[in-house]
Amino acid sequence: MQAKRTRKTQQLVVATAMAFSLALGGVGPSVIGSAHAAALAQPSASGNGGNGGAGGAGGSSVNGRAGNGGTGGAGGSSVTGQAGNGGTGGMGGSTVNGQAGNGGTGGMGGSTVHGQAGNGGTGGRGGNSTGSGNAGNGGTGGMGGTSTGSGHAGNGGTGGQGGTSTGSGNAGNGGTGGAGGTSTGTGNAGNGGAGGTGGTSTGSGNAGNGGTGGKGGTSTGTGNAGNGGTGGTGGASTGSGNAGNGGTGGAGGNATGTGNAGNGGTGGTGGASTGTGNAGNGGNGGTGGSASGTGNGGNGGTGGSGGNGTRPGGLGQCGGNGGNGGAGGSASGTGNGGNGGAGGNGGDCTIIVNNTTQVTNVSWTMPTPIFASAPVYVDVPVVSVQTVQAPPIVTCALPFGTLYGHPVDPKLQPVIVDGVTVDYLPLCQTYTYEPFLDCATAYYYYADQNLFYCVVPA
């Protein structure tokens, strides 16, 4: 009797559990054997799939539109190893009036067969806007590397932060993080480089974008592959011209032996633009050297900075681009490969007047002349004193010195650079002596040339 009551109780419990499970939409784990339930819970054979990255937080706003948080990256796939997790989405930027930048998307986690795959890089934070312009978006995180052996693949690089806009122009976007390297042996592959930060815009021009981080190197032996270089920072724009973009970080070198491969060089900084001309872009970082022996490969050189653009009225680029960094040397024996040289900086925008580099910005103002009742430069040595019927007329040397004489509206001449009129400069007559009696307008002394300049009237 006791056995029958126990059997009935068990049947009632099972029936109740099945009814509860069916009410939830089907036969649940409560009526399935524990081994079968464990098998259903696994997303891969015996490895772990990567987790998806968290989404970034949205930014704050007073009046304008705040940036959206970035999307989290997808988790990687796995056969028997540990797949990489997706990167976290970047935080959206904050704003007062303008459009703040969106947070960057997190990078996708790497896939694996046996080893540990790299995690996806974090998305960059969106830039802030305190004016009416649009701030830059955060860069996308780099994808984690793939591992097909027992080594660890490299993590994806972090996306660069978007630039800040305090005027009406658009700030630069953050650079994309570099992808992590691949590992097919027992060594660790290199991490992807971080994306460069976008430049700042305080005027009406566009600031430069941050450079992309370099890809991490591949490891097929026991040595460590080189990390990808960091992307260069975009230049700042305070005028109406476009600032230069940051250079791309160099790729890390490959390691096929026991030595360590060289890291990729950092991308150069983009040039600043304070006028209407475009500044130069930063140079790319050099590739890290490969290591196939026991020695270490050389690091890639840093890219040169872009030149600054300050000329007003110009069209097209003014400052020169920075040079690319040299590649690191390879190491195939026991010695170390040499490091790549740094790229040269781009030249600034300058205007040459009278065969002399006199100004870096041709904008000028003429001071108010001071009346003089007698010669002023009595201590200036006179090269020759002679009457010249027609003293040469040239553009006035800048900057102006102290003017002596009478107020005057100068005669102007256009200054043409690369076929474009960039400004108008005043004309002067030159004297080798103080023209106290010969200059009817106003004059000044230019010490670099040991000449006196008399302003030509309009």
Would you say residue 92 has pLDDT above 60?
yes
Do 365 and 334 belong together in one domain?
no
Q: Please check whether residues 355 and 344 belong to one and the same domain.
A: no
Element holding 422 (H helix, E strand): strand 420-431
- The verdict on 355 and 414 lying in the same domain is yes
343 shares its domain with 356: no
What is the per-residue pLDDT across 7-63, written as a single tens digit (0 to 9) for each? 444 443 333 433 333 333 443 333 323 333 222 223 444 567 778 787 777 777 777
Q: Is residue 200 part of a domain?
A: no
Summarize the confidence of residues 130-134 as an average pLDDT.
82
Predicted local confidence at residue 114, as pLDDT: 80
Does 328 share its domain with 355?
Answer: no
pLDDT grade for 441, boundaries at 50, 70 and 90: very high
Residue 437 domain flag: yes
Residues 360 and 442 in one domain: yes
pLDDT given at position 181: 85
- Domain shared by 333 and 358, yes or no: no
Given a cut of 80, is residue 1 above it in pLDDT?
no
Let me know if residue 225 belongs to a domain.
no
Instruction: Provide the residue type at 108 as one letter.
Output: M
Angle among Cα 450, 455, 458 to the nearest 5 degrees reads 160
Residue 439 banded pLDDT, cuts 50, 70, 90: very high
What element of type H or E holds 395?
A: strand 393-395
| Range with the poorest average pLDDT among 85-99, 128-142, 413-427, 435-449 | 413-427
For residue 442, name the pLDDT band (cuts at 50, 70, 90): very high
Q: Among 164, 171, 170, 137, which Cα is nearest to 56's?
A: 137
CB 353 within 8 A of CB 414: no
Does 335 lie in the same domain as 390? no
**Total domains in the fold of the chain:** 3
**Residue 293 vs residues 87, 289, 337: alpha-carbon distances, Å:** 34, 12, 11
Round the average pLDDT of the chain to a whole number and report it: 76
Q: Pick 202 or 358 by higher pLDDT.
A: 202
Q: Is 385 a residue whose pLDDT tops 70?
A: no
Lowest mean pLDDT among 15-19, 209-213, 312-316: 15-19
Q: What is the pLDDT of residue 440?
A: 92
The whole-number pLDDT of residue 381 equals: 66
What percent of the chain has a predicted confidence (pLDDT) above 90? Answer: 7
**Same domain (yes/no): 340, 329:** yes
324 and 366 inside one domain: no
Long-range contacts of 386-391 (CB under 8 A, 24+ apart): 387/438, 388/431, 391/429, 391/430, 391/431, 391/438, 391/454
For residues 376 and 451, membership in a common domain is answered with yes
Range of the domain at 414: 351-455
330 within a domain of the structure (yes/no): yes
- In terms of average pLDDT, the best of 135-139, 258-262, 301-305, 427-431 is 427-431
Distance from the Cα of residue 441 to its chain's centroid? 51
Joined tokens for residue 78: 């796995």
Considering only residues 56 and 142, tell me which one the structure prediction assigns the higher pLDDT: 142
More confident residue, 36 or 4: 4
Domain assignment of residue 317, yes or no? yes
Q: Is 382 inside any structural domain?
A: yes
Domain final position from 320, 349, 378: 349
Among 179, 51, 158, which residue's Cα sits nearest to residue 106? 158
Q: Is residue 157 part of a domain?
A: no
Selected residue with higher pLDDT from 243 and 24: 243
pLDDT at position 6 is 42
User: For 437, which DSSP code?
Assistant: T
Confidence of residue 386 (pLDDT cuts 50, 70, 90): low
Asked if residue 381 is part of any domain, the answer here is yes
pLDDT at residue number 423: 66
Whole-model pTM: value is 0.66
Listed residue (142, 84, 82) closest to 113, CA to CA: 82
367 and 443 assigned to the same domain: yes
